[in-house]
Amino acid sequence: MSPDPDPDTQVDIVAEHASFRLIRDRASGRHAVVEARDGKVYSLSAADRGGEPDSPAGMARLVEPDGWRDEAQARAVFAEITGGGEHLARTIW
């Protein structure tokens, strides 16, 4: 991951599987799932597949304002996608 130009952005990668990441915003405790490929991160929303740089600030921008979820919701999405959710992964393309 490249250095973050905004040192105040604090997004942690909680879990990774293949190209998918479960991330957490340290300040709020909110979670989200993103996909990382070729130096960029992408939303799982089929409507919004524009990428951001693969950095904490890029991940935060990608999921703002409505992509953050509580931990249980985000973990459920991550589990569905990474645990045999191949069909879902193809659907979001």
Q: Could you read off the pLDDT of 50-93 as tens digits, one per residue?
A: 799 999 999 999 988 788 999 999 999 999 889 865 555 566 54
Return the pLDDT at 44.
Answer: 82
Burial class (CB in 10 A: 0-12, 13-18, 19+), 32: buried
Residues whose CB falls within 8 Å of the CB of residue 72, separated by 6 or more in sequence, listed in order: none
pLDDT tens-digit map of 23-46: 999 999 999 999 999 999 998 876
* Integer Cα distance of 17 and 32 in angstroms: 14
Is residue 64 a contact partner of residue 24, using CB atoms and an 8 Å limit?
no
Return the pLDDT at 67.
Answer: 85
pTM, entire model: 0.79
* Integer Cα distance of 42 and 48 in angstroms: 8
Structure tokens at 61: 């921008």
Return the pLDDT at 79.
Answer: 93
Return the pLDDT at 2.
Answer: 43
Return the pLDDT at 1.
Answer: 43
Per-residue pLDDT band for 3 (boundaries 50, 70, 90) equals very low
* Integer Cα distance of 42 and 20 in angstroms: 9
Is residue 5 a contact partner of residue 57, using CB atoms and an 8 Å limit?
yes
Return the pLDDT at 19.
Answer: 94
